[in-house]
Amino acid sequence: MKNIKYIFSLVLVLIFSLNVLLPVAQANSLWESQVGMGTESGDVGYQYGERGSASDVKDVRAFMADLINIFLGFLGIIFLVLIIYGGFLWMNASGDEAKITKAKSILVTGIIGLVVIMASFAIATFVIEKIYNATLNS
């Protein structure tokens, strides 16, 4: 039992100590975004009319993509909360079969909903990308 606790503690310490290196790993992209290194002339003016600031007029394609992403994100959060709630109910069922059945039902509903949301996100991303590329080239 002591070995399991020792190994578990060691793994946790390693996982949390590796998070110290994350800022170093992100330093390159941070440098490029602040200094402007790595930009090409083809990207000049990209923020105007397509994905500008909140006060700028957005392209309809970009607006719809953002709207779909936000909507699917909220639905994903709702189904994730359902999964957590179902797990909480199951852990607190105390062997009561009615509570366990209810918890299983909530868990299955949450998992199915999350799978549907992920699939719809993938389909929406694919369709929006194809529409965007088709209208951009014409």
Q: Is residue 107 part of a domain?
A: yes
Q: Is residue 49 part of a domain?
A: no
- Quote the DSSP letter at residue 20: G
Q: Is residue 5 part of a domain?
A: no
Q: Is residue 80 part of a domain?
A: yes
Structural domains counted in the chain: 1
- For 70, the token pair is 């936000």
Q: Is residue 99 part of a domain?
A: yes
Q: Work out the average pLDDT over 56-76.
A: 79
Residue 74 sits in which domain range? 59-137
pTM of the model: 0.53
Mean pLDDT, all residues of the chain: 77
Of 56, 112, 54, the closest CA to residue 79 belongs to 112
Q: Is residue 113 part of a domain?
A: yes
Judge whether residue 55 has pLDDT over 60.
no
Q: Work out the average pLDDT over 32-53.
A: 52
In 10 A of CB 103, how many CB atoms?
A: 20
